[in-house]
Amino acid sequence: MSRDRISLFDTTLRDGAQTQGVQFSASEKHQISDVLDGLGLDYIEGGWPGANPTDTAFFAKPPKTQATFTAFGMTKRSGRSAENDDVLAPVVNAGTAAVCLVGKAHDFHVTTALGITLDENVANIAASFAHLSGLGREGLFDAEHFFDGYKSNADYSLQCIHAAYDAGARWIVLCDTNGGTLPDEISRIVTDVIASGIPGSHVAIHTHNDTENAVAGSLAAVMAGARQIQGTLNGLGERCGNANLTTLIPTLMLKEPYASMFETGVTPEALKGLRRASRMLDDILNRVPAKQAPYVGASAFAHKSGLHASAIAKDPSTYEHVDPAAVGNSRIVPMSNQAGQSNLRARLADAGIDVAADNPALARIIKRIKEKEAQGFSYDSAQASFELLARQELKIMPRFFEVKRYRVTVERRKNKYGEMMSLSEAVVVTKVGGKRFLNVSESRGPDGSDQGPVNALSRALSKDLGPYQKIIDDMRLVDFKVRITNGGTEAVTRVIIDSEDAQGRMWSTVGVSPNIVDASFDALVDAINWKLIRDAD
Amino acid sequence: MSRDRISLFDTTLRDGAQTQGVQFSASEKHQISDVLDGLGLDYIEGGWPGANPTDTAFFAKPPKTQATFTAFGMTKRSGRSAENDDVLAPVVNAGTAAVCLVGKAHDFHVTTALGITLDENVANIAASFAHLSGLGREGLFDAEHFFDGYKSNADYSLQCIHAAYDAGARWIVLCDTNGGTLPDEISRIVTDVIASGIPGSHVAIHTHNDTENAVAGSLAAVMAGARQIQGTLNGLGERCGNANLTTLIPTLMLKEPYASMFETGVTPEALKGLRRASRMLDDILNRVPAKQAPYVGASAFAHKSGLHASAIAKDPSTYEHVDPAAVGNSRIVPMSNQAGQSNLRARLADAGIDVAADNPALARIIKRIKEKEAQGFSYDSAQASFELLARQELKIMPRFFEVKRYRVTVERRKNKYGEMMSLSEAVVVTKVGGKRFLNVSESRGPDGSDQGPVNALSRALSKDLGPYQKIIDDMRLVDFKVRITNGGTEAVTRVIIDSEDAQGRMWSTVGVSPNIVDASFDALVDAINWKLIRDAD
């Protein structure tokens, strides 16, 4: 049986930007569209050109994507032609292959929110898509509040979407804008829409998670015949979020009856990058990854119950509905038992350290990791710091240098022109092979501006390490993540530093302290030690 | 039409305890059962007496609940009678009115995980529930892996649950243990179970969220005739969590067709406590509340899009599927890049500033917000900084004090005992009403430990502000959030500070700079200015 193609439309950069607390920069939008494009999605909606400076800048220099890059906007307003609508113009002028325009499909909204007649609204929709068709653009009609509109006045809602379809819109996107429609209703109404004459191959579903049914509603629409799903990575989006593509993609590809009925543009190989894509988005946004996220969460294949863990040891399929490797995730069995130690050995082997199964240091390492995690450390992403901790317990951690003391000062005061200026300065004293090194550095960005105390400390620390200096000269601090967390009963600061070197290695280290400068300094020292282990003779 | 009663069974204290990172104490279990009981649930499952010291202690001194307090355990093992099974004994001896026993209902698990014959397993189930019935206890049979078992060998799965039902089990709980069954399958299989002769009024559903369908699967089961839902508050639970009662309860009570078809033991008045119950659980567990949680999350009724916000101002039902007050939540119209002027005026009105719709300052405020957001500022949560910015443009921002300069130093060195110690010290010079104030502070936590440069600056800044000092004396810094973001092309640090005062006010301010200390300082200054606007004459 041939499988139907499901088109995947990502709106992380548009509806996802409506997430409270999320504010993409143009450069973040570029990074995220690279991540999305690596998955093999069909459409990437970039934002609304003309609506704000970020989106305007992003569309002025759009990303190169395999996916069809799409601009969002709204149907033309009353009282002017589509050609002369100055809100529609920048959307069209962005020159994307596809354009998605939102319009009203609910009588109540037309009269209450827009304050125009029902016929005027239909005419605006038709004229907007005729305009796009005339320009040879692929049009998508976001039929706002379609489901509520259908329940209020089915004939009018259908009239709106048929106007768009007849004027050449490629996809009719049925939006459950306020997230209140339940899956059974979605199924029934999608069936009616297709029966009204719009083929399922032109029907898309756009749900929100206000009743925790965004994924279920999308699946219900597909079973009723819709052939495009709109959603976001990690379920970002207005209010409770959009349909979560991170969950929908593996469900469509791995779960029956979907896997036998449908295919998507995501390859099994790309699917293995799903967990990583999810984490990269969180990293870019500095959000804490949701542990319990289906498929990609750190807990998704964690078997805490003793009953489960012992059955898993006999056969993983006993408690896992899919293979964690299929989405790039892995099984977690609590460190306290046998399986935990074998996990640890595997992780050490990844760092090039082979440890015999009966080495008593394994239990000590697990104990110290638990203690440190209780203090606020996290070794999930700080693999380099984990390696250093394990090396200490295994007595294979060389002492390259010792930090005797440091001092960092931040001052803000008027300069000679009477302007307020900041300056950070750090002094670090180290001892290398019996010799003291006293180094001082200021912090300066490319434009001469002050980059703050951590930058100054990093410079002073890596200014002269004596015999090791040439080894660390190619190190570069590429990212710096700060999170306030709990260590015991008190709030502490956790700093994770990502470093790289000229050989293309990338490594992450962690520091924890109530004092953010101290936490950063410890992560910097770990980063240098890890590099020295690799490259010092 | 009379409504069918849906029984709500909470397993937060049992299956919820399998959440990674969650470790309840007996006293926390008491606090949580109070919260659960306040909602009006039908059953509260407390844990597994005899399985671990916490649960044994909790059942030795059980909470007094309106709900039926329930002990969890497993069906008797082979080779001994139910009366003589020393795992079952402490469960029965806990003396609870109801007892829930898990047993296998999937042939593969019986032979692979238990290693006994299929008939032996059925006999164990029957004997266990006959034992409970003989003692006059209400029995629930947790039919583990029921759905997978049914797909593998329907006859055998049905044989298992009928054995429990015939032996007197009150509820047959159909468990989707590994979370892999999708709603349509759940619907079909529940229908089959009821057709096999177990009345829907004795059928319960227990789902997990591994495909983000736990809520949808529970609703599908109810529509197919099941009359009990098992779940947890905030969706706690093994791996990706259990069905989220925090979402299911309002959906059953407020959404059609459920509200017309069913009733629960939760009153509309108790439902208004739902958001609070959800927060209390997070507080007890020291978890960050999920902003995007349906119904109860801080973002659940937050309208960030300008289009949405302007429609909401006309009629809230345009973008809200239920009234936030019904679950004790409230509407938020945040400032953002997408904000329109009506959104802005509503936000200013919340701050007590009425601005006419034709005031040209509105456009200037939006322009400045957009400029600041392009630099990395975010006003979504920093309402107080937003207000100060607006006041400047409206020329109603008093100048209370001026910061002339500051200097902060962090040192790490050996103390007199040879231990490495940190110390942070800040000097701040301010000018108030023509008079200079020079203040210095160290940073010390409750235990004397160094809390870092931001703490020292905060102390020095609020040590002596002359005539304003008495006004800011009751201010307290309650949280401090740091994020690295992009300001234009360069990485900058965004700091958000939450403050509160003795009157119970809470407010948030934001600062942005490449230098984290500078960013923090600006947020601190905003925090003080906001307080002075409120309380200075």
Q: Which chain A residue has its CA at the smallest distance from B427's CA?
A: A411
Q: DSSP labels for B464-531?
A: --GGGHHHHTT-EEEEEEEEEEEETTEEEEEEEEEEE-TT--EEEEEEEESSHHHHHHHHHHHHHHHH
Q: Give CA angle at A287 (A285, A290), nearest 5°.
A: 135
3-state secondary structure of A526: helix
Nearest chain A CA: its distance from B305 CA (Å): 6
The residue among A111, A212, A429, A454 with the most chain B CBs within 10 A of its CB, best to mutate, is: A212
B301–A112 C-beta distance less than 8 A = no
pLDDT of residue A187: 98
Question: Residue A197, class by beta-carbon neighbours within 10 Å (0-12 exposed, 13-18 middle, 19+ buried)?
Answer: exposed
Confidence of residue B493 (pLDDT cuts 50, 70, 90): confident
Residue A120 clears pLDDT 90, i.e. is over it: yes
Confidence of residue B335 (pLDDT cuts 50, 70, 90): low
**Exposure letters B46-72 (e unless 16+ CB within 10 A, then b):** bbbbbbeebbbebbeebbebebbbbbb
Q: Which of A460, B373, B457 is nearest to A451 (CA)?
A: A460
Nearest chain A CA: its distance from B262 CA (Å): 16
pLDDT of residue B257: 96
Q: DSSP labels for A293-323?
A: -TTTSTTTTB--SHHHHHHHHH-GGGT-SS-
Q: DSSP labels for A175-208?
A: E-TTS---HHHHHHHHHHHHHTT--GGGEEEE-B
Residue A213 clears pLDDT 50, i.e. is over it: yes
- In this complex, which of A240, A314, A454 lies closest to B294 when CB atoms are compared? A240
B185-211: average pLDDT: 98
Token pair 């977690």 is at which residue?
A332
Residue A341 clears pLDDT 80, i.e. is over it: no
d(CA A140, CA A146): 14
Q: Residues of B numbered 238-297 whose beta carbons fall under 8 angstroms of chain A's beta carbons: which are they? A: 238-241, 244, 247, 251, 255, 286, 288, 290-295, 297
The pLDDT tens digits for B515-532 are: 999 999 999 999 999 999
Q: Is A213 within 8 Å of chain B by CB?
A: yes
B422–A518 C-beta distance less than 8 A = yes
The residue among A239, A262, A422, A461 with the most chain B CBs within 10 A of its CB, best to mutate, is: A239
d(CA B297, CA B345): 25
pLDDT of residue B488: 54
3-state secondary structure of B155: helix
Residue B170 clears pLDDT 60, i.e. is over it: yes
Contacts of residue A449, defined as CB under 8 A and 6 or more positions apart, other chains included, come to: B514
Q: Which of A279, A409, A509, A457 is nearest to B405 (CA)?
A: A409
Instruction: Name which of A187-196, B57-66, B177-186, B356-365 the model is least confident about.
Output: B356-365
Q: Which chain B residue has its CA at the smallest distance from A321's CA?
A: B180
d(CA B531, CA B535): 6
Asked whether the beta carbons of A131 and A83 are under 8 A apart, the reply is yes
| Mean pLDDT, chain B, integer | 91
- In this complex, which of A302, A319, A451 lies closest to B20 when CB atoms are compared? A302
Confidence of residue A99 (pLDDT cuts 50, 70, 90): very high
Confidence of residue A306 (pLDDT cuts 50, 70, 90): low
- Higher-scoring residue by pLDDT: B483, A290: A290
User: Which CATH number describes the domain made up of B402-535?
Assistant: 3.30.160.270
What proportion of chain B, given as a percentage, has pLDDT over 70?
96
Domain with CATH 3.30.160.270 in chain A: 402-535
d(CA B80, CA A391): 50
Q: Is A179 within 8 Å of chain B by CB?
A: yes
Asked whether the beta carbons of B70 and B96 are under 8 A apart, the reply is yes
Q: What CATH fold (topology level) applies to the domain B4-266? A: TIM Barrel (3.20.20)
The pLDDT tens digits for B224-278 are: 999 999 999 999 999 999 999 999 999 999 999 999 999 999 999 999 999 989 9
**How far, in Å, are A32, B271, B278 from residue B325 at the CA level?**
36, 9, 15
B184–A515 C-beta distance less than 8 A = no
Asked whether the beta carbons of B15 and B242 are under 8 A apart, the reply is yes
Nearest chain A CA: its distance from B407 CA (Å): 4
Q: Residues of A numbered 130-159 whose beta carbons fall under 8 angstroms of chain B's beta carbons: which are they? A: 145
3-state secondary structure of B54: helix
- In this complex, which of A108, A244, A451 lies closest to B212 when CB atoms are compared? A244
Amino acid at residue number A180: G
Asked whether the beta carbons of B345 and B477 are under 8 A apart, the reply is no
Residue A466 clears pLDDT 50, i.e. is over it: yes
B20–A291 C-beta distance less than 8 A = yes
Domain with CATH 3.20.20.70 in chain B: 4-266
Instruction: Name which of A250-264, B170-184, B230-244, B412-426 the model is least confident about.
Output: B412-426
Residue A340 clears pLDDT 50, i.e. is over it: yes
Residue A131 clears pLDDT 60, i.e. is over it: yes
pLDDT of residue A248: 98
Residue B180 clears pLDDT 90, i.e. is over it: yes
A182–B376 C-beta distance less than 8 A = no
Residue A93 clears pLDDT 90, i.e. is over it: yes
B496-503: average pLDDT: 88
What proportion of chain A, given as a percentage, has pLDDT over 90?
72
**How far, in Å, are A73, A146, B284 from residue A102 at the CA level?**
6, 11, 43
ipTM > 0.85? no
- In this complex, which of A178, A299, A311 lies closest to B319 when CB atoms are compared? A178
A517–B424 C-beta distance less than 8 A = yes
Q: Which two tokens stand for residue B537?
A: 């004459």
Nearest chain B CA: its distance from A320 CA (Å): 6
- Higher-scoring residue by pLDDT: B285, A109: A109
Phi and psi for B531 in degrees, rounded to 5?
-65, -40
Residues of A in contact with B489 (CB under 8 A): 27
Q: Is A319 within 8 Å of chain B by CB?
A: yes
Confidence of residue B337 (pLDDT cuts 50, 70, 90): very low
Q: Is A53 within 8 Å of chain B by CB?
A: yes
Q: Is B404 within 8 Å of chain A by CB?
A: yes
pLDDT of residue A366: 86
Q: Which of A307, A145, A274, A207 is nearest to B213 (CA)?
A: A207
Residue B432 clears pLDDT 80, i.e. is over it: yes
d(CA A181, CA B21): 34
A23–B308 C-beta distance less than 8 A = no
From first CA to last CA, the distance across chain B in angstroms is 62
B334–A20 C-beta distance less than 8 A = yes
pTM of the model: 0.76
Q: Residues of A numbered 454-513 whose beta carbons fall under 8 angstroms of chain B's beta carbons: which are they? A: 454-455, 479-484, 486, 490-491, 493, 513
| Mean pLDDT, chain A, integer | 92
Residue A491 clears pLDDT 80, i.e. is over it: no
